[in-house]
Structure 1
Amino acid sequence: MIELKAHQIAEATGGRLTSSVDVTTTVTSADTDSRQLVPNSLYIARRGEVTDGHNFITAARAAGAQLILAERETTDQHGGVDPAVIVDDSTVAMGDLAHYIVEKIREHSETTVIGITGSVGKTSTKDALATLLSSQGPTVAPRGSYNGETGLPLTIFTADLETRFLVVEMGADRLGNISELTNIVRPDISVVLTVGTAHAQSFGSLENIAITKGEIVEALEPNGIAVLNADDIKVAEMATRVPSGAKTIWFSAASLPPERQHLLYAADAATTENENPRFNLQYLGDDATDEDRMGRDVTAHMIGEHHTSNLLAAAAAALAAGLDLETIAEVMPEIGPTSAHRMARTDRADGITIIDDAYNANPESMRAGLKTLAMLGRNTGRRTWAILGPMLELGDQHAKEHILLGETLVRLNIDQLVVVGTEARALYTGAVNEGSWGDEVDHVLSNDEAFELLTERAQPGDIIFVKGSNGTRLWELADRLTTENLVGRKEMP
């Protein structure tokens, strides 16, 4: 974080300083979590759905917070007023402070801001892009899936004056959400991956999702660049929303390249035996060299054919940011899983492989992950397990989408299905109706029950895929499966 004085924070947020603030106070980091603070920090006291950050101000000061961003004055154990900037809304103030910081960084040096949105693939694309850009200069990207009104500012708080590339995720769960985020930081490059059914319940329709995702394109300046998925109809339609003067770069993993100017294309796309994407990376445009049109063969260490599109999006954004295709192709083999619980492979000592994709789930990402599992089983002859929790926030499509997923799973010839939780019961029903029966399919109520079932039945050589919506906490099961003994556990005293 750039060094900030107390009066600058008050200026940026429209807040007032308490009488206890030392005018020489300077902070060099900021966080909403009192447990993550270091000396000379700004502690942001937010009112959350469950807890009130104001209750942790004493702990924050003990951890090294020199200043508090708060909505009311508080006192320490001696009755003294805690040094703070008082604002009406701490979350809004976070965004105001993040906006101020980006402006200061831009004033200091050339900085390119890349914003990424989409119903599926934001974090994987962000991780891939960060790997590419880091080869050329100091790069800041979100931790995990920091992509909302809190996560976006927290990402910006980790940037400093020397940051060359700032990559931000922009998530949304209602109309206008992306516009609110682009008001915090306006992208120089806007990337749109997909329009899918994630958060369908809160949006009300696929059209509303498309409207909101496209707000990231509308936020571009006339000299900005939109990076759009030519294979997604709703995303392709956003080309009409690109501001006059801004450029569009397309990416596509279709079997035949679409007729698009400035197209990054994956020719001969396939996967290795371990389901790592490989393809010939080509750039087709009036500014392309002969070498760009001929392409360069690349293989990345992400898992799943569906990541080909994410890799193309990252490559197109890197191209927009000034990297040449040769550099992109050279760095791409270094790209692998970075953020936790996203197609992370663990080959256990007992011969069992865990594929942990348990961070979140929607119908599109579920099908992509299950297809990868099926291909891994087909390529290696190993038995496959799908441990699946419910997909949340689907509204009135909940039962239908879970039934359809169960049918899909059977058609993919996944060997074993374990459905976890009452909200996923329709998934079990769909699999049974499609022809799965006996001990091929089980429905359990908890992570613990799923773990015990696997303890009894998993064998060396099995591939176990774990996925469910974040709110189901299925990632806790994935953590246990990657670290605790399974084979022979029942025989242990």
Structure 2
Amino acid sequence: MTLWTSQDAAKATDGHVTRDWQAAGVSIDTRTIEPGDLFVALKAARDGHDFVAQALEKGAAAALVSHIPEGVAEDAPLLIVDDVLTGLEAMGRAARARTQARVVAVTGSVGKTSTKEMLRDVLSQQGRTHAAEASYNNHWGVPLTLARMPADTEFAVIEIGMNHPGEIAPLSRMARPHVAMITTVAAAHLEAFEDLNGIAIEKSAIFDGLEDNGTCIFNGDLDSDLVRTMEGAAWASGGPVARFGACEECQYRLMDVRLSDETTVVQADLPGGPQLFKISTPGRHFAMNGLATLAAVEALGADPVRAAMDLARWHPPAGRGTREVIALDHDDEDLTFDLIDDAFNANPTSMAASLEVLAASTPRDGVGRVAKGRRVAILGDMLELGEDEIQLHAALSDLPYVAALDVVHCVGSRMAALYEALPEPLRGEHVDSAEALADKAHRLVDAGDVVLVKGSKGSHVSRVVDALRRVGRETVEEKRNT
């Protein structure tokens, strides 16, 4: 399938092509590039022009560049533009313009990637659906996602994120969504804003790019000042407005949530009547994301009842609450522990949601070295919280779910505040780096335990996740060799 011809790309970017070519995809990374892709030589940590020759050797159809790179022939298949990022943005806008797809844009301090993936899964059962494979939600991720969109797409899901004020509106105007959603507003990237209302204002900028009569969807359970901010921006867009949440004012209302070790069962009231749906992973936050998904599906003109049934097939992306069983002995199915990998990101809201999942989990007694199975939390620093970061870490000890835990291990200088605030019986290890705890992984867990690993990506607690997986493999191998 041809995604871009050289003529179409040149017209979109006002660029110059050295010779004709056709591309089946768009890539920014030579490590994952596929034959037939257009390689986009972005400047990030390194200059993509340094990798153009490698991309062409790997079978790239052409490269989007601002000049002919050193070592690349003048007659190589190139699209030459004044600025590569500007060229990618132009291709994104052109791809959006040539499709009749119904587009939903998703932002939020927590839950935007999971909600994007829910929407991708349920909409793909009702039409040709396009969404980014990863969390491509920034100044290059959004135009890249759009540039990769086939012309015959029927539904598109665009995730939009931010680190600083002024980022969301231009990306929303590029995506031109028919539906724009705010999953929630929380203390994430707070250091770049004066307060939570500043974050709400920035998130509400997603409504700026709505198509005429586009629908605004937002979380109605937040603080009243935040709701007023989002509601004001939503009504200013001129289209329909819908809230989701547990409060009475919500058109998509959460009535009951029941968590088990493996599922979340949700009773909701939709505009069309009561709706029961199940998600095959535990988490009250996933229930809210599912409810928001149904609101967006209906606003897009798809079938929310069918989507509610299809939500049962969804599982969270890696590092965002995925649950797996780690075997310590393949000959004894009881010698396992459960690992909840939520190591991709963290802020106080998402931390509370993950700890609620852990508190609702059921360890198994009588199978490990310790007679009682345990709920074990391994928590890394929450980053970009601003001047109140120490207090926000310490405040996690006040969460009601903490009382249900058996031991809490803390990673990082900020998490020292939580460690000091915890009751003495709950204190496990406190270390400055994830590597230090990863080296002790074999001593942290036992058969029957349920283990949560949660922290901001920059805290590197994913290394503890990797170490815990190795504990299983190495223990199994040791038993086989004895």
2:253 aligns to what?
265
Q: Which amino acid aligns with 2:140?
A: T
1:212 aligns to what?
202
Query: Does the Cα contact within 8 Å between 1:42 and 1:67 map onto a contact in 2?
Result: yes
2:295 aligns to what?
316
1:370 aligns to what?
355
What's the secondary structure of 2:378's corresponding residue? strand
Query: Does the Cα contact within 8 Å between 1:455 and 1:486 map onto a contact in 2?
Result: no
2:449 aligns to what?
462
**In 1: Cα distance, 2:357 partner to 2:70 partner:** 55
Q: Which amino acid aligns with 1:214?
A: S
Instruction: Tell me how far 1:25 sits from its aligned partner.
Output: 1.5
2:368 aligns to what?
none
**In 1: Cα distance, 2:434 partner to 2:166 partner:** 36
Map 1:112-127 → 2, pairs under 5 A? 112-127=102-117
Instruction: Tell me how far 1:240 sits from its aligned partner.
Output: 2.2
Instruction: Tell me how far 1:178 sits from its aligned partner.
Output: 0.7
Alpha carbons of structure 1 residues 121 and 410: separation in structure 2 relative to 1, 3 Å: closer
2:162 equivalent to 1:196? no
Alpha carbons of structure 1 residues 66 and 463: separation in structure 2 relative to 1, 3 Å: same
Which sits farther off after the overlay, 214-223 or 117-126? 214-223
Which sits farther off after the overlay, 217-226 or 465-474? 217-226
Instruction: Tell me how far 1:482 sits from its aligned partner.
Output: 3.0
1:417 aligns to what?
408
1:3 aligns to what?
3
Query: Does the Cα contact within 8 Å between 2:173 and 2:208 map onto a contact in 1?
Result: no
TM-score (normalised: structure 2) = 0.89
* Structure 1: tracts of 5 or more residues without a match: none
1:346 aligns to what?
324
What's the secondary structure of 1:116's corresponding residue? strand
1:104 aligns to what?
98
Query: Does the Cα contact within 8 Å between 1:229 and 1:236 map onto a contact in 2?
Result: no
2:231 aligns to what?
239
2:29 aligns to what?
33
Query: Does the Cα contact within 8 Å between 2:347 and 2:383 map onto a contact in 1?
Result: yes
Q: Which amino acid aligns with 1:47?
A: K
**In 1: Cα distance, 2:473 partner to 2:155 partner:** 43
**In 1: Cα distance, 2:457 partner to 2:257 partner:** 31
Map 1:8-27 → 2, pairs under 5 A? 8-17=8-17, 21-22=18-19, 24-27=20-23
Q: Which amino acid aligns with 1:429?
A: E
Q: Which amino acid aligns with 1:59?
A: Q
2:129 equivalent to 1:129? no
Instruction: Tell me how far 1:364 sits from its aligned partner.
Output: 0.8
1:302 aligns to what?
281
Instruction: Tell me how far 1:457 sits from its aligned partner.
Output: 4.0
Query: Does the Cα contact within 8 Å between 2:172 and 2:210 map onto a contact in 1?
Result: no
Map 1:273-312 → 2, pairs under 5 A? 273-274=260-261, 276-284=263-271, 288=272, 292=273, 295-312=274-291
Instruction: Tell me how far 1:388 sits from its aligned partner.
Output: 1.1
What's the secondary structure of 1:34's corresponding residue? coil
Q: Which amino acid aligns with 2:318?
A: A
**In 2: Cα distance, 1:322 partner to 1:410 partner:** 39
1:90 aligns to what?
84
Alpha carbons of structure 1 residues 426 and 297: separation in structure 2 relative to 1, 3 Å: same
**In 2: Cα distance, 1:249 partner to 1:206 partner:** 21
Query: Does the Cα contact within 8 Å between 1:74 and 1:82 map onto a contact in 2?
Result: no
Alpha carbons of structure 1 residues 67 and 235: separation in structure 2 relative to 1, 3 Å: farther
2:436 aligns to what?
449
Q: Which amino acid aligns with 1:16?
A: H
What's the secondary structure of 1:422's corresponding residue? coil
Query: Does the Cα contact within 8 Å between 2:105 and 2:180 map onto a contact in 1?
Result: yes
**In 2: Cα distance, 1:156 partner to 1:113 partner:** 11
Alpha carbons of structure 1 residues 402 and 245: separation in structure 2 relative to 1, 3 Å: closer
**In 2: Cα distance, 1:135 partner to 1:459 partner:** 41
Query: Does the Cα contact within 8 Å between 1:347 and 1:353 map onto a contact in 2?
Result: yes
Instruction: Tell me how far 1:251 sits from its aligned partner.
Output: 1.3
Alpha carbons of structure 1 residues 227 and 57: separation in structure 2 relative to 1, 3 Å: same
What's the secondary structure of 1:348's corresponding residue? strand
What's the secondary structure of 1:126's corresponding residue? helix
Query: Does the Cα contact within 8 Å between 2:184 and 2:222 map onto a contact in 1?
Result: yes
Alpha carbons of structure 1 residues 224 and 476: separation in structure 2 relative to 1, 3 Å: same
Alpha carbons of structure 1 residues 395 and 354: separation in structure 2 relative to 1, 3 Å: same
Query: Does the Cα contact within 8 Å between 2:210 and 2:237 map onto a contact in 1?
Result: no
TM-score (normalised: structure 1) = 0.87
Query: Does the Cα contact within 8 Å between 1:2 and 1:159 map onto a contact in 2?
Result: no
Query: Does the Cα contact within 8 Å between 1:194 and 1:235 map onto a contact in 2?
Result: no
Which sits farther off after the overlay, 58-67 or 112-121? 58-67
Instruction: Tell me how far 1:479 sits from its aligned partner.
Output: 3.0
Query: Does the Cα contact within 8 Å between 2:364 and 2:449 map onto a contact in 1?
Result: no
CA deviation profile, 1:250-272 (whole Å, cap 9, x unmatched) = 211x2xx4135xx112222222x
* Structure 2: tracts of 5 or more residues without a match: 329-335, 366-371
Instruction: Tell me how far 1:279 sits from its aligned partner.
Output: 1.9
What's the secondary structure of 1:65's corresponding residue? coil
Q: Which amino acid aligns with 2:203?
A: K
% identical equivalent positions: 31
**In 2: Cα distance, 1:467 partner to 1:423 partner:** 14
CA deviation profile, 1:388-447 (whole Å, cap 9, x unmatched) = 11111112122111122245488433211111233433232232xxx225x832112333
